[in-house]
Chains A and B, each alone.
Chain A
């Protein structure tokens, strides 16, 4: 069986060779005829007398004398530098727009309120306006401080110790906005001796923590600081 296949393939190959030879001969003849025609025509071909139709010019004078790697490094360096400059420019543009949106220095200076604390006697509330909102400042008595610190705050709705709500225990500073729907609570009222919101009946204790009613969070603490013993800056 194998002998038969090898013989048949050999036969095929010889057939192909014999077929090819006459085709090649005829094409050669055609070319020769073309040359003869050119010699007699008026067209003067620039390729006449050339042995090969393809002539590759020499690029040797354009070729880099350095290696491939240093050229690649140069190209990538230029690409990287371009990317770096683009990145710096884009960052500066975005930053300018964002800085433009933030509050300017005069607005920030107006947004602070300074208050003299020596005018507030112990056990009194003071309500001041800060950024359009009321701020409660209470000078707490020693009993009130003790009451606020001893309360079992772990079980409250918004558990916070009193130390997290007052920087100095005798001064309690809070935003006077009920965390339920934004009413202004009434001072020295309610079941827990603190604040009471008349709108929906939220009770806050003497540390401003919600103890009863619909309010979800304790009264908010603004940013404040004591630059001296008798003054406070809110904001």
Chain B
């Protein structure tokens, strides 16, 4: 435990530049994950109500008419 903590401290936190870079990189990764998860939650909450869910009905009907 102590070894792991000191490894993290020495590699990521000790230098301020490295610490800041780590913060920005993790912010980037966190944003990607947060956006994709919240999109998935939104899609599952609105299942069957969005255009992409009902598109196949209308687009196929138009093609049949033609």
Contact = CB atoms under 8 A, between A and B. Distances in A.
Interface of A: 66-67, 69-70, 72-73, 76, 80, 83-85, 87-88, 91-92
B6 to A, nearest CB: 5
A72 B9 contact: yes
Contacts of A88: 27, 30-31, 34
B14 to A, nearest CB: 10
Contact of B23 (A67, A80, A91, A92): A80
B12 to A, nearest CB: 8
B61 interface: no
Contacts of A91: 27, 31
Interface string B6-17: 101100010000
Nearest to B1: A70
A87 B21 CA distance: 12
Contacts of A70: 1-2, 5
A89 to B, nearest CB: 10
B42 to A, nearest CB: 16
B11 to A, nearest CB: 11
Contacts of B9: 69, 72-73, 76
B50 to A, nearest CB: 17
Q: Which 6 A-B pairs have the closest CB atoms?
A: A70-B5, A87-B27, A84-B27, A73-B5, A76-B13, A69-B6
A88 B25 CA distance: 11
A67 B34 CA distance: 34
A87 B19 contact: no
Contacts of B13: 72-73, 76, 80
B8 A84 contact: no
